[in-house]
Amino acid sequence: MKQKTVLIVEDEKRIAHWVREYFTQAGFRALIASDGLSGLNMADEENPDLIILDVMLPGMDGMEVCRSLRRQSDVPIIMLTARGKETDRIRGLNLGADDYIVKPFSPGELVARAKAVLRRVHGEANQEEKLIRGNISLDVASHTCTVDEKNVELSRIQFSLLESFMRNSGRVLSRQQLLESAFDGDYSGYERTVDVHIRRLRKKVERNPANPEHILTVFGVGYKFV
């Protein structure tokens, strides 16, 4: 599953870092902008999959940021506010926000609602069903893999790891991100075995597992597929 990027536009540092931590733990790439103008610029540069947007921002407030974003993008937006009035929620939704959460909020609920918005807006069906990277081909629908046009038998975990790598080609993935995708979030006790799974996967898809050309180790960080 391709790693998604969330942009958090929030001027309160404590809340911004708190929200970023929860999204990072959920497997997202999380970025922070501390004001509305910076948020607009970062949205243009980074092309995030989702924006968490505070209403009360210095300078350009969240409502104006939402209005500006909707002139150029259909990126999903979840608005955060300390104001719980129905008129404020209606205004935000009318400007194009996809969801609206009132502070104080549960970070777990925010992440869950973010995932729901992404499913609703993009849909899992938009993902590639057949991934081809170099000499490796992965058919997600039939759950088959070929290397140099020869069938390779992969376990469920190996297939999930390889799919994550191929959907995020060129991007460094941490062990936690790989575990979360391969074990569907239930990876307690597996943190120390991810290297074993990678080693076994290399034996099946690399021409020379001792000197891999696709699944590379990024020391101190994780792995990268090239």
Average of per-residue pLDDT across 116-136: 73
Check whether 23 has a pLDDT greater than 80.
Answer: yes
- Return d(Cα 59, Cα 157) in angstroms, integer: 48
Q: How many residues appear in the chain?
A: 226
Boundary-marking domain end, from 76, 91, 124: 124
Kindly report the CATH number assigned to the domain that includes residue 167: 1.10.10.10
Model pLDDT, residue 190: 55
Model pLDDT, residue 8: 97
In terms of domains, do 61 and 105 share one? yes
In terms of domains, do 110 and 187 share one? no
Q: What is the per-residue pLDDT across 140-191, written as a single tens digit (0 to 9) for each? A: 878 899 999 999 999 888 888 998 898 888 888 888 778 766 765 444 555 5
Q: What is the per-residue pLDDT across 40-80, written as a single tens digit (0 to 9) for each? A: 999 999 999 999 999 999 989 999 999 999 888 889 999 99
Q: What is the mean pLDDT of the chain?
A: 85
* DSSP structural state of residue 106: -
Boundary-marking domain end, from 101, 124, 147: 124
**Residue among 124, 193, 189 at smallest CA distance from 163:** 124
Q: Are 154 and 129 in contact (CB under 8 A)?
A: no
Model pLDDT, residue 128: 59
> CA angle, corner 183, sides to 169 and 222, nearest 5?
40
- For residue 29, the enclosing domain spans 5-124
> CA angle, corner 114, sides to 112 and 120, nearest 5?
105
Q: Phi, psi at residue 150, to the nearest 5°?
A: -115, 135
In terms of domains, do 196 and 135 share one? yes
CA distances from 170 to 23, 71, 141, 214, 218 (A): 21, 31, 23, 10, 12
Q: Are 18 and 33 in contact (CB under 8 A)?
A: no
Q: Phi, psi at residue 194, to the nearest 5°?
A: -60, -35
Model pLDDT, residue 100: 85
In terms of domains, do 119 and 146 share one? no
pTM of the complete model? 0.55
Check whether 125 has a pLDDT greater than 50.
Answer: no
Kindly report the CATH number assigned to the domain that includes residue 114: 3.40.50.2300
| Residue 38: Cβ-neighbour burial (10 angstroms; 0-12, 13-18, 19+) | middle
Q: Are 154 and 204 in contact (CB under 8 A)?
A: yes
Average of per-residue pLDDT across 89-104: 82
- Return d(Cα 9, Cα 65) in angstroms, integer: 10
Greatest Cα pair distance, the chain, in angstroms, is 63
* 9 vs 2: which has the higher pLDDT: 9
To the nearest whole percent, how much of the chain has pLDDT over 90? 44
Number of H helices, E strands in the chain: 8, 12
Boundary-marking domain end, from 109, 124, 139: 124
Model pLDDT, residue 186: 46
